[in-house]
Amino acid sequence: MAENPSDLVVETHQLTKIYQNRQIALNDVTMKLEPGTVLGLLGHNGAGKTTLLRLVLGLHCPTAGWVKLFGQYMTPNAASLRCRIGYIPTSPQFPAGMTPITYLDYMARLFGLPSEYRKPRLAMLIRAVDLLASSGDRIENFSNGMIARIAVATSLINDPDLLIWDEPTLGLDPEARRSMLDLIKTLALDKTLIIASHNLSDIDEVCNHAAVLSNGHLIYYGSLQDLKGRMKRNHYEFELEGDQKAITRAMQALKNMSDFKYVNIKQRRLEIRMSDDANNTNALANVFMTLADNNVTVISIRSVGMQTEQAFLDLVEEEASRGFARAVKNAA
């Protein structure tokens, strides 16, 4: 834990954004980001993810509350704070007629980097993102993957301490997505990252913390492990081997148990969903005993649904079900 507030990379306090008194985009968001955190920012479309990022960057001014970066208040004119941030917007756009070299040079100059530093740095980054062969071509002719690579190079040109990447894997093919995730893991070794994404498997793979926004409200902020711990593990799939009649008998026996609200078999694949009040250890033990009694062999077992995805959906569902109790802080 960071003992000194100035050790925090990002700190927000009761951050609220209301657009023109018409739309509440963000409501009372308080969080603290310590160095080395890789934060996955989750939420449905319109949940307030991009608004939060824009407030952190000083592109928007808060209606109430504040944002501090590295212990200092973020404002639209806090250029020195932004010099420590590398940002990739959703679907980045580039000025017409620029090549990777001219664009990166322009971006480096926007950070005030002198020529003797920025030229070697941009050359190194162009090589690192595999754009050496296209470094003189116009960016408007580039594919999504190449544009993503330029965006990555741009966000690293100033050697930032904090990286804010909004949907970095959006529109990438599987190979480029894999490279992006590997890069995030490498960068996470010595930088703080905020990754906003709809792709929960990406978040699951690279992040150690999660923030979940729902309708502009922060409904979860903490470690990804804790988020998964909140998940209701009640949906399993077994791959079985044995006599078909024995499998059917086992299924009938399971259907008669009160622990399960859904039991189904399809081509030797047994799917069970437990009742909400069932103890999942006992219920699983019953499944194994029933299968053993009927001489059915278990080849594999897996928990159905992505862990983070399930936890996210549970959280959003729980938030929605709270109704007006949301107005009371300690109602949960």
Partner 1 sequence: MNTITPATTPRVPINHFLPYWAVLESDFKNTFNSWIYRVWVLLSIAVAVGYLLYRFGARQVAGMIQPAPETVSDLLHWAILGSVTLIIAVTAGTICSERGTMADSVLSRGISRYQYFLGKLHSRLALILGTFLFQGLLAIGGAYCMLHGDALTLHGCLVALLIVGSMFVFVITFGVTISAMSSNTLVSIAVVWITIYGGGFLLTQLPSSIPSPERALLNLPNVMRGYYDWNDLGRTMLISLGVSFATALVGMFYFSRRDV
Interaction of residue 79 with partner 1, rule CB under 8 A: yes
Interaction of residue 107 with partner 1, rule CB under 8 A: yes
The count of residues interacting with partner 1 (CB under 8 A) is 55
In the bound state with partner 1, the residue whose beta carbon lies nearer, of 93 and 248, is: 93
> Half-sphere exposure (CA, 13 Å, Cβ side) for 300?
5
In the bound state with partner 1, the residue whose beta carbon lies nearer, of 169 and 234, is: 169
Q: How far apart are CA 144 and CA 263, in angstroms?
A: 44
Q: Which two tokens stand for residue 155?
A: 């966000």
Interaction of residue 69 with partner 1, rule CB under 8 A: no
Nearest CA to 152 out of 224, 81, 103 is that of 103
Here the contacts of 276-281 (C-beta below 8 Å, separation 24 or greater) are: 276/232, 276/234, 278/234, 280/233, 280/234
Task: Please choose, out of 149-157, 195-203, 213-221, 292-300, the segment that lies near partner 1 by the rule CB under 8 A.
Answer: 149-157
Work out the end-to-end distance of the chain between its first and last CA atoms, rounded to an integer number of angstroms.
26
Contact map string, positions 26 to 65, toward partner 1, x by CB under 8 A: ----------------------------x--x-xxx----
Contact map string, positions 163 to 182, toward partner 1, x by CB under 8 A: ----------------xx-x
Binding residue for partner 1 (CB under 8 A) from 9, 38, 104, 113? 113
The Cβ of residue 127 has, within 10 Å, a number of other Cβ atoms equal to 12
Interaction of residue 110 with partner 1, rule CB under 8 A: yes
Interaction of residue 92 with partner 1, rule CB under 8 A: yes
β-bridge pairing 85-88 and 162-166: parallel
Interaction of residue 281 with partner 1, rule CB under 8 A: no
Could you tell me how many residues make up the chain?
332
Q: How far apart are CA 168 and CA 156, in angstroms?
A: 14
CB 68 within 8 A of CB 107: no
Q: How far apart are CA 41 and CA 23, in angstroms?
A: 21
Interaction of residue 191 with partner 1, rule CB under 8 A: yes
Q: Which two tokens stand for residue 188?
A: 């996470």
Binding residue for partner 1 (CB under 8 A) from 95, 173, 223, 332? 95
In the bound state with partner 1, the residue whose beta carbon lies nearer, of 173 and 241, is: 173
CB 29 within 8 A of CB 50: no
Binding residue for partner 1 (CB under 8 A) from 26, 33, 43, 111? 111
Shortest separation between residue 57's beta carbon and partner 1, angstroms = 5
Interaction of residue 106 with partner 1, rule CB under 8 A: yes
> Which residues contribute to the site for partner 1 (CB under 8 A)?
54, 57, 59-61, 76-80, 82-83, 85, 87, 89-95, 97, 106-107, 109-114, 117, 121, 124-125, 127-130, 149, 152, 154, 156, 158-161, 179-180, 182-183, 186-187, 189-191
